[in-house]
Chain A
Amino acid sequence: MKLLTLNFLTCAVKACKSSSASFPLHPKECELVSDTIAPNPKLIYNILPRVDWNALVVTASELGFPSLPPAAPTQEELEKDENMMSELHTLLLETSVSEGMLVCGNCGHEYRVKEGIANFLLPNHLV
């Protein structure tokens, strides 16, 4: 489960979807892995305006990454700064949670991540 994916997902419980406390989900006892994915600057430039940057800052800090700038870099800044571009590519697309839990800040439900796959199926009492 990539960090970019985490930026678009929330708790699957209906009552939580409208609550701001449910997003982002909080990683718990997570193991991270790094994959190698071909760089695609066009994807990164265009996806950044769609990323919830505040949520990404929270996720990155909860996973122990060095703190991110308070606002998303612009395409212009990224074109000038190859390092920043490659760090963002690594953080968003190459870094993923391989094992652990994702916890909803609203209802406390824990979603399991196993072999990189997050499972959002709900137990009967939460459906």
Chain B
Amino acid sequence: MAAEQDHLAPEKYEEQHVHEVYEQIASHFSSTRYKPWPIVETFLQSLSPGSVGLDVGCGNGKYLTVNRDVFIIGSDRSSNLVKIAAEHEPHSAVVADTLALPHQTGRFDFAISIAVIHHLSTLERRREAIKAILECLKEGGKALIYVWALEQKTSRRGWDEGHEQDVIVPWVMKTGKKNPNEDGSTEKTFQRYYHLYRSGELEEDIVGVGSEVFESGYEKDNWWAICRRPLKP
């Protein structure tokens, strides 16, 4: 459990346990993230040509390769990941914070945010992020949000209902024999923060910011939901 969380302001905590980690593990992380999840792929392929969208927390841009007839402006906190993402033409990627997006209000046909919101360490910040993403959409625009599930007892992590939802998950990176640590070991462990979503919680967050869910479900250890503008005032 993330005890240290209590002592730090959420943005500082996330800086240490999310942003700095991704910046350092960027290329290793990227080499393990190449296969699009089916729900996301189907969502992106269903869009009409010329649709303009945002991919908030785009990471290495693996979803920027799915549909070349739409235009996506991805964003991520990690400039090392954005450099990789920006290579996926015809799309685009910028360095930005999920809670201070440069994307214009009301201009986008769609949004995706895949495995990102669960890195925000308070309920307030998670909802603020969902609201910020939805505000970029035009009326009738759709967003697909995807978060890690608490209920995943068959995964190697083994979490399930009733477990602690705020967790630290290690990312182990092999440094290679050429660049060993000072003590001679060849592995480096980074600690990432996650808020694991329980069943129904993602939908509550979406409704909580005045939007509505029109499809949601569970796919391989993750909860997902498709929601839309308009937001109620």
Contact = CB atoms under 8 A, between A and B. Distances in A.
Nearest to A50: B52
A17 B82 CA distance: 23
A34 interface: no
Given A117-B94, A121-B97, A8 B103 contact: yes
Given A5-B73, A14-B100, A46 B50 contact: yes
Given A46-B49, A50-B52, A127-B100, A17 B105 contact: yes
Contacts of A9: 73, 94, 102-104
Given A5-B94, A120-B95, A12 B50 contact: no
A93 B90 contact: yes
B100 A42 contact: no
Interface string A1-16: 1101100111111100
A117 B82 contact: yes
A43 B71 contact: yes
Interface in B44-64: 48-52
Nearest to B95: A119
Among B50, B75, B77, B83, chain A packs the most CB atoms within 10 A around the CB of: B50
B25 interface: no
Bin chain B's interface residue count: 20 to 34
Nearest to B101: A12
Among A9, A40, A45, chain B packs the most CB atoms within 10 A around the CB of: A9
A117 B102 contact: no
Interface string B92-134: 1111110011111101110000000000000000000000000
Interface residues of A, number: 39
B107 A8 contact: yes
B68 interface: yes
Contacts of B51: 46
B79 interface: yes
B97 A117 contact: no
A44 B51 CA distance: 10
B201 interface: no
Interface in B193-224: none
A18 interface: yes
B86 to A, nearest CB: 6
Contacts of B102: 9-12, 111, 118, 120
B187 interface: no
A117 B50 contact: no
A116 to B, nearest CB: 7
B109 A12 contact: no
A71 B102 CA distance: 26
B161 interface: no
Given A12-B100, A40-B90, A120-B96, 13 more contacts: A1-B92, A8-B107, A17-B105, A40-B68, A43-B90, A47-B50, A48-B50, A93-B89, A115-B83, A117-B79, A117-B83, A117-B86, A121-B95
Interface of A: 1-2, 4-5, 8-14, 17-18, 23, 35, 37-38, 40, 42-50, 52, 93, 111, 115-122, 127
12 contacts: A5-B92, A8-B107, A9-B94, A11-B102, A18-B105, A43-B90, A47-B52, A93-B90, A117-B95, A120-B95, A120-B100, A127-B100
Interface of B: 11, 48-52, 68-71, 73, 75, 77, 79, 82-83, 86, 89-90, 92-97, 100-105, 107-109
